Amino acid sequence: MPSALIFIADGTEEMEFTITYDTLVRAGVKVQSAFVSADDSKSVNPPVAKGSRGIGILPDTYFEPGNSGPNKFDLLVVPGGAKGAETISQNTAVQELIRKYIDASKYVGMICAGSLAAQTSKLPKQPLTSHPSVKAQLEGDYEYSESPVVVSGKLVTSRGPGTAFPFALTLVELLLGKDKREEVRGPMAFPANTLF
């Protein structure tokens, strides 16, 4: 069974986090969320993360670099939300982990402002996308695309809350194949003319 680690921080965009988490679980992926603290403070249990719209989400665990490597998970996901994406993408342990996943040929997904983690992690120039609000920060260093989802080798990027379903379904397909993607997508009852 494939496994995935999804980061969360205060300010993470709720839809990008929950739609990705939920869709992966529906596909049978073992998913764990890890709270990235803005100040590296820790208590016994991770706090409720306050999302970008003020919705509280309880993470599964704190982010521990030693327990988060590509030997433990098949996919690493960085959601957006301006404040949350900044906290996650500026974390040096996260940056190192992203490079380790790519070097180990494991998938890394980034959505919305989460795509800034490609830049802070110093990933090489390649196709990617992001939320329009951070396009100017990325287009000089990457082959910027307006596509809803961009797959570049093991890096998968997407635009925002409105592309969270095609992003999550693409991750399902990459991990488990097209048949599993369709099996998960069908019961979600998207309108008949939905293109993803």
Give per-residue pLDDT as tens, 39-68.
Answer: 876 666 778 999 999 999 999 999 999 999
- Mean residue pLDDT across the chain: 96
pLDDT tens-digit readout, 67-84: 999 999 999 999 999 999
Token pair, residue 166, equals 């095609």
pLDDT tens-digit readout, 136-173: 999 999 999 999 999 999 999 999 999 999 999 999 99
**pTM: predicted TM-score of the whole model, two decimal places:** 0.96
Q: Are strands 107-111 and 75-78 parallel, antiparallel or unpaired?
A: parallel
In sequence order, what are the beta bridge partners of 57?
A: 49
Segment 176-182 mean pLDDT: 98
Distance CA(154)–CA(188), nearest Å, equals 26
pLDDT tens-digit readout, 3-49: 999 999 999 999 999 999 999 999 999 999 999 998 876 666 778 99
**In this predicted structure, what is the pLDDT of residue 69?**
97
**How many Cα atoms within 13 Å fall on the side-chain side of residue 165?**
12
**In this predicted structure, what is the pLDDT of residue 43?**
67
Determine the distance from the C-alpha atom of residue 130 to the mean position of all C-alpha atoms in its chain, rounded to a whole number.
12
- Kindly state the percentage of the chain with pLDDT values over 70: 97
Distance CA(82)–CA(27), nearest Å, equals 28
Which residues are tagged catalytic?
Answer: 16, 112, 131
**In this predicted structure, what is the pLDDT of residue 46?**
78
